[in-house]
Amino acid sequence: MERFLAQLCGTDAARPLPLWEGDTTGHCFTQLVLSVLPHALLAVLSACHLGTPRTSDYILPFSPGWRLRLTASFLLSVFPLLDLLPVALPPGSRPGPIGLEVLAGCVMAVAWFTHSLALWALVHSRHGRSRGPLALALAAFLPAPALVLTLLWHCQRGTFLPPLLPGPLGRVCLLILQLAAVLAYGLGWAAPGGPREPWTQEHFLTSESQETEVAEDGESWLSRFSYAWLAPLLARGVRGELRQPQDICRLPRRLHPAYLARAFQAQWKEGAQLWRALYGAFGCCYLALGLLKLVGTMLAFSGPLLLSLLVGFLEEGQEPLSHGLLYVLGLASGAVMSAVLQNQYGYELRKVTLQARGAVLSILYRKALQLGPSRPPTGEALNLLGTDSERLLNFAGSFHEAWGLPLQLAITLYLLYQQVGMAFVAGLVLALLLVPINKVIATRIMASNQEMLHHKDARVKLMTELLSGIRVIKFFGWEQALGDRVKAFRSQELGRLRVIKYLDAACVYLWAALPVVTCIVIFVTYVLMGHQLTATKVFTALALVRLLILPLNNFPWVINGLLESKVSLDRIQRFLDLPNYNPEAYYSPDPPMEPSTALELHEALFSWDPIGTSQKTFISHLNVKKGMLVGIVGKVGCGKSALLAAITGELHRLCGSVAVSGLSKGFGLATQEPWIQCATIRDNILFGKTFDARLYTEVLEACALNDDLSILPAGDQTEVGEKGVALSGGQRARIALARAVYQEKAFYLLDDPLAAVDADVANHLLHRCILGVLSHTTRLLCTHRTEYLERADVVLLMEAGHLVRTGPPCEILPLVQAAPTAWAEEEQVAGSGKSLSVQNPEETAEGLEAEQSTSGRLVQEESKNEGAVALHVYRAYWRAMGSGLAVAILVSLLLMQATRNGADWWLSHWLSQLKTARNSSQEGPASSSPGSTVLFSPPPLLLFSSRNFYLPLLRAASNGSSDVHFYLTVYATIAGVNSLCTLLRALLFAAGALQAAATLHHRPLRQLLKAPVTFFHSTPSGRVLNRFSSDVACVDDSLPFLLNILLANSVGLLGLLVVLGSGLPWLLLLLPPLGFLYYGVQRHYRASFRELRRLGSLTLSPLYTHLADTLAGLPVLRAAGATYRFEEENQRLLELNQRCQFASCATTQWLDIRLQLMGAAVVSAIAAIALVQHQLGLANPGLVGLVLSYALSLTGLLSGLVSSFTQTEGMMVSVERLEEYSCDIPQEPRGRPPQTPQQGIRWLTQGSVEFQDVVLVYRPGLPNALDRVTFRVEPGEKLGIVGRTGSGKSSLFLVLFRLLEPSAGRVLLDGVDTSQLELAELRSQLAVIPQEPFLFSGTVRENLDPQGLREDEALWQALEQCHLSEAIVAVGGLDGELGERGRNLSLGQRQLLCLARALLTDAKILCIDEATASVDQKTDQLLQQTICKRFASKTVLTIAHRLNTILNSDRVLVLHAGRVVELDSPSALRSQPKSLFQQLLQSSQQGAPHHLPTGP
């Protein structure tokens, strides 16, 4: 190299690169170091900005500053080429060396030309309104000193002295022009670039028209390697502007869900293996990353080899300087290349993982849309989305590690063989012995994983049901019982997790202890083979064995990751293999034979399961003409809803044929349980269809919604909450009906839409909607209110799943109608009068206003903390783990590190004894006296770095007379103690993580169950489930894993600093600036990363909610043809979540490359300084090796510490979100414990109810829902409660059960003020039969008696009295499973089961809210008799939508506008012609001109 430099510079080989010549710097030094290097840097930085994306609103013409800079840059790219012309002149013109001038000129020209292109790209980008990146401008000024020094060099050479030669003079003129151009460039940069601030504010607006920049696409390769394109995102993070997903840069094209869906669908066929499709879509790119992994792995071994050569060069001093330069350059470039390749491998791997994630989540949702009748529970589907998809993608990282780690192992073993020969086999055999043990552990872990996921599914499914029925749960006071069921599932889940954690701890311990044991075995074997053990052998072998830590420690995690991926892959595959909804195979390919026929069924047999084990529905023949109104009647559970489900394709067709005319246009479907989206009323009705004002107005009128909208806070823009929780049952039914009507279909299937509405509303719906707007369509109407079917064209009678009779209403209806009662006959005359009342929609859910503001917004945006994770979150995790256990973990960690340092110190002591014994004949590594050995006692410690470097030690002597066995025994003892501490730490940490996981689930669950119902109305269940699924999974698994690494890095750094301070105190002076640099980088990173992590959790909740919503409303989606629109919405939600995931990944890699490059720079700088000291004769080879090893260990540990801390902080967001539910959820007022003897366990002995001036206001500024309501109900009295819309009927029950607290007044039960009672005590003394039945998955026994207080005999007796025993026997008796939300029973049977619950109660007060709306009339009459008989001595309050259920009451309470307007016996009120009760009676008769309705 010296000769090459001398030839290039025209200098002497002894001084090839003179720093100083005469009065100025050497010309060659100026050109090579001060000109070529800065220009190369300028070229690199400019290339980073070549691909800057354009913006559509850049300013033309350019500002003067930009034009001046562009012109100067272009001239500066031309001048160097002109400067080369004098070089071709004869030698007498005295230019510099030709090769040097050509090299410098070409580099300068390329640099400025690249800079010109970069400026052109920047001026067309968002930077066009500013001065552009500051770093780029500063780089442009770096070559200026070289121009000045070159001008001085020309003066020194006498260029301006006669004789004046044209060549040198021309070069000087060009040089002056270059300086002028640089000055002009500076002026251009100083000139204002345009209005910067307004643009900055506008640019980050979140409107679609001002969307954020696209990530990565269009960027140069250097920009991608350095992640310069992340600068705007990180700047927003530092400024605190990452508040919503739209603030994050958009996804690159290859990560967009639409692109991924297309790429995956090209490989996916129905019934295919998921892994094959993923491989076909992304496999080639993924496997190509293996090359990056391979090169990075090989480069990791270049460090030790080059370090060995460098130390040899410094020690021997025989090699030329150029060799030392090459070693330093090789060390630096190897470190940089290794950092860049490993970083790019991690980044590209994460991108492929995100591609696979996007594809998997898309196919999961698409499959959910295509599911046939066999569907998994919602909780299981949510687990597939949240947990299994993430675990499946762990395969991406684990697969390449699975072959990369054995490769590292093989190379390390080969190098070990070079040191100790065949003795290494003994250590290898020991390592191989652990493989079968590891396999047994891995098998147990896999089995436990499967069981844990099964329990997790059950827990999440129960949570889903609990959230959907929270109002009923609070009525019954079952929070504790169902909370205990959730905890039981959680305990089973934690039991499996405990097995996994302790097996993991054992696995990690075995592999962590292996290197020490292996060393001892190798050394003993080496001595027994007759060899002499030297310090060189000991330390080199030890260093190499320590290199085995990474592959051996990581291998169990890799295997575990692969096994977890396999388990989750199988679960997802089972879901994807479920049978699809297939209309082509289900329906006959040909329409009905007659054009006038809309529907034709022939010998059709249907079942809910594919093999027909459940109740079947058989239709021998059914022919429905177009335009007909067909009524379907029958007893509870006879198959009416099943027939409609069969027509829509929601059942399995076992045989026969189904032909539908105009099938492609879909159905108008109104299901028995109305499905309402979490949106505004208008959005629910439009359901994606274009707004048509005329049609919309017509639909609102036909469905009797105008009066309801007039009293809602924001009219049809009112948000109705999840599943329409803010509405009453009748309002939900009418909105669902309005949605079906607005779709303008030709065929309508209406499943009992009249069940939950008052008589006059039902009459309105019949005449204005079913017989009005829909009169030209074909309609199938299921109902128990047979009085409304008299105008049907045909009525079908169902019984036990069979169509038994078909005929006109006059033939069929008498078979199912009950005989009119005496009072009905008496009222027929009175009912002929014209009603004076206005149209009366049924009872509104008064709770609506409780959460609505005047803007109509019910569901608020999910809260998101900002800034660093607060200290109280870490304290919460500490408390959850237990202070004693946490302290024990820290002590065991410190003991582990102390014994590790002690073992290394003992080896250092051994080395010093060897050097003392052979001081006269053996050259010490760096000491001149025995006393100086203390300084070098730490070298063995520094052989082991996290970057896989080792110090190929010092030439030490053989052991000679030293007592090898004594030293080995002591070393083995210390190592054994270290092994015990390692085991103790692993077990304690596993126990602490399990304790924290249990506590962090139970605390938020306990608080959640105590929250008021208003909280659940305004909080989507997906938001809650996200915390109890994804965040709990994070606390169970990811957080302990990362926290373990963080603690290990922390104590490792502490131990290293202790040894640093004792061995090389002066090196500690480098720590403050290095620490400041690391702190600055990580602070810049953390500000963005933690917000991205929070946004990632925030954007996951809507995905949960959307999937749960889709599964609940699947029949409606398909009937309306809205599946494509819902899939698009899922893509939009997924895109927002993928944005956050991708940005988190990119910012992590941004940090990683900077930390690694800083570490490489520190090592390279120390090596370069060592080389300079060597030239000056000051180098100490041992000291240099020590410093380099420490530098490598220190930077590696600091990098690991920063990385693990930031990732741990990101995971602590899950603790933060769970802690938020533990502390910040509003709580129900609990009341005070009993204080008097009368308030004992059975304080309610009579059953009197008294309201005293009760006022209920949902929100200040809204009218009173209850306005000074005062009445008293005597013990055993039967009170009916009636009233118009918003009159306050439901509010009475809410106040009585204290689901809402009154603003004034009080409620007395047996003279006891309910506000002074504990909620559980109050609700346990009351019973309720809700309008909407609530059942959870489990057995019949668990649903009837969740607290397990009743004997089987009592349960069967209650079932018989509800005429439900036959249906229960059919599902398997008391231990029969009811399925999710009781899906194995019909809606009417579910209502009867809820009635059976009430029959089992000993409560003195029973509240009934239209409990028999979905049962047939005959059953209803029998049930009314049962209620009268069983509750004869009890106080009964009945909210009536249909008045026949309360005409036998002792008194009737009539409410209007929250006030009591009438309270008397039914006969007394009927005798008053102008009473409001009489008007309601007359309204109820209008729907049945020939007789009054006698059933629901």
* Nearest alpha-carbon partner for 1037 in 494, 363, 474, 313: 494
CB-CB contact of 1453 with 1269 (8 Å):
no
- Across the range 1489-1496, mean pLDDT stands at 36
Residue 316 pLDDT exceeds 70: no
* Nearest alpha-carbon partner for 845 in 711, 671, 677: 711
960 secondary structure, DSSP code: T
Of residues 493 and 1190, more confidently modeled: 493
Predicted confidence (pLDDT) per residue in 10-45, tens digit: 666 656 666 666 666 777 777 777 888 888 888 888
At residue 1443, φ and ψ (nearest 5 deg) are: -80, -15
CB-CB contact of 233 with 1147 (8 Å):
yes
DSSP 225-241: HHTGGGHHHHHHHHTT-
Of residues 439 and 347, more confidently modeled: 347
Question: What pLDDT score was predicted for residue 326?
Answer: 83
446 vs 463: CA distance, rounded Å: 26
- Across the range 600-625, mean pLDDT stands at 83
1010 vs 987: CA distance, rounded Å: 35
CB-CB contact of 744 with 698 (8 Å):
no
- Residue 1070 CA, chain-centre distance (Å), reads 41
Direct distance between the N- and C-terminal alpha carbons of the chain, in angstroms, rounded to an integer:
102
Question: What pLDDT score was predicted for residue 15?
Answer: 62
- Three state DSSP letters for 1344-1384: HCCCCCCCHHHHHHHHHHCCCHHHHHHCCHHHCECCHHHCC
858 vs 847: CA distance, rounded Å: 11
Predicted confidence (pLDDT) per residue in 80-126, tens digit: 888 777 665 555 444 567 777 788 888 899 999 988 888 888 887 76
1202, two tokens: 């920063």
- Across the range 1473-1485, mean pLDDT stands at 74
At residue 918, φ and ψ (nearest 5 deg) are: -120, 25
Helical segments of 773-821, H only: 809-816
Residue 175 pLDDT exceeds 70: yes
Question: pLDDT tier at 534 (50, 70, 90 boundaries)?
Answer: low
421 vs 530: CA distance, rounded Å: 12
DSSP 517-551: HHHHHHHHHHHHTTPPPBHHHHHHHHHHHHHTHHH
Question: pLDDT tier at 864 (50, 70, 90 boundaries)?
Answer: low
Question: pLDDT tier at 546 (50, 70, 90 boundaries)?
Answer: low
CB atoms closer than 10 angstroms to residue 662: 14
Of residues 1156 and 779, more confidently modeled: 779
- Three state DSSP letters for 477-503: CCHHHHHHHHHHHHHHHHHHHHHHHHH
Cβ-count burial 28-42 (b if 16+ within 10 Å, e if not): bbbbbebbbebbeeb
Residue with tokens 């707004």: 691
Question: pLDDT tier at 894 (50, 70, 90 boundaries)?
Answer: very high
Helical segments of 124-229, H only: 134-141, 144-157, 166-190, 196-203, 221-226
- Across the range 1352-1373, mean pLDDT stands at 85
- Across the range 1342-1361, mean pLDDT stands at 84
List the single range of 345-354, 375-384, 1117-1126 with lowest mean pLDDT: 375-384
320 vs 1152: CA distance, rounded Å: 36
- Determine which helix (DSSP H) or strand (DSSP E) holds 781, and give its type and residue range: strand 778-782
Who contacts 667 (Cβ-Cβ below 8 Å, separation ≥6)? 647, 648, 745, 747, 748, 749, 1119, 1120
Residue 1296 pLDDT exceeds 80: yes
Of residues 528 and 642, more confidently modeled: 642
List the single range of 337-341, 674-678, 1438-1442, 1462-1466 with lowest mean pLDDT: 1438-1442
Predicted confidence (pLDDT) per residue in 616-639, tens digit: 888 888 888 988 999 999 888 888
Of residues 75 and 851, more confidently modeled: 75
Predicted confidence (pLDDT) per residue in 869-883, tens digit: 778 888 889 999 898
List the single range of 194-198, 271-275, 835-839 with lowest mean pLDDT: 835-839
- Across the range 368-374, mean pLDDT stands at 86
- Across the range 780-786, mean pLDDT stands at 86
1463 vs 1454: CA distance, rounded Å: 6
Predicted confidence (pLDDT) per residue in 206-236, tens digit: 333 344 566 677 666 667 788 878 888 888 8
Strand ranges of the sheet holding 1405-1409, from the earlier edge strand across to the other edge: 1326-1329, 1405-1409, 1435-1439, 1278-1283, 1451-1456, 1459-1464
* Cβ contacts of 1449-1454, under 8 Å, gap ≥ 24: 1449/1278, 1449/1279, 1449/1280, 1450/1277, 1450/1278, 1450/1279, 1451/1277, 1451/1278, 1451/1279, 1451/1280, 1452/1279, 1452/1280, 1452/1281, 1452/1282, 1452/1477, 1453/1271, 1453/1279, 1453/1280, 1453/1281, 1453/1282, 1454/1282, 1454/1283, 1454/1480
CB-CB contact of 260 with 225 (8 Å):
no
Who contacts 111 (Cβ-Cβ below 8 Å, separation ≥6)? 39, 40, 42, 43, 46, 77, 143
1356 vs 1278: CA distance, rounded Å: 27
- Across the range 1391-1404, mean pLDDT stands at 82
Residues facing residue 634 across a β-bridge: 798
Of residues 956 and 670, more confidently modeled: 670
Question: What pLDDT score was predicted for residue 12?
Answer: 63
**Length of the chain as a residue count:** 1496
Alpha-carbon distances of 1164 from 303, 331, 333, 1320, rounded to whole Å? 11, 7, 9, 71
Question: What pLDDT score was predicted for residue 437?
Answer: 83
CB-CB contact of 1421 with 1494 (8 Å):
yes
1276 vs 1405: CA distance, rounded Å: 8
Residue 1236 pLDDT exceeds 70: no
452, two tokens: 């844990």
481 vs 460: CA distance, rounded Å: 16
- Across the range 405-431, mean pLDDT stands at 81
List the single range of 382-386, 592-596, 941-945 with lowest mean pLDDT: 941-945
- Across the range 1115-1129, mean pLDDT stands at 88
Residues facing residue 1174 across a β-bridge: none
- Across the range 1358-1387, mean pLDDT stands at 82
Residue 1317 pLDDT exceeds 90: no
Residue 1428 pLDDT exceeds 70: yes
DSSP 654-668: EEEEEEETTGGG--E
1186 vs 541: CA distance, rounded Å: 17
CA angle 315, 318, 321 (to 5 degrees): 95
467 vs 483: CA distance, rounded Å: 11
CB-CB contact of 119 with 139 (8 Å):
no
553, two tokens: 């420690």
Cβ-count burial 847-860 (b if 16+ within 10 Å, e if not): bbbbbbeeebbbbe
Residue 154 pLDDT exceeds 80: no
1252 vs 1255: CA distance, rounded Å: 9
CB-CB contact of 196 with 179 (8 Å):
no
Report percent pLDDT > 90 for the chain: 7
- Residue 1461 CA, chain-centre distance (Å), reads 53
* Cβ contacts of 884-889, under 8 Å, gap ≥ 24: 885/988, 885/991, 885/992, 885/995, 886/992, 888/988, 889/985, 889/988, 889/989, 889/992, 889/1047
- Across the range 302-326, mean pLDDT stands at 73
Of residues 1418 and 1371, more confidently modeled: 1371
Residue 1276 pLDDT exceeds 50: yes
Look at the pTM and tell me if it is higher than 0.75. Answer: no
Average pLDDT score over the chain: 78
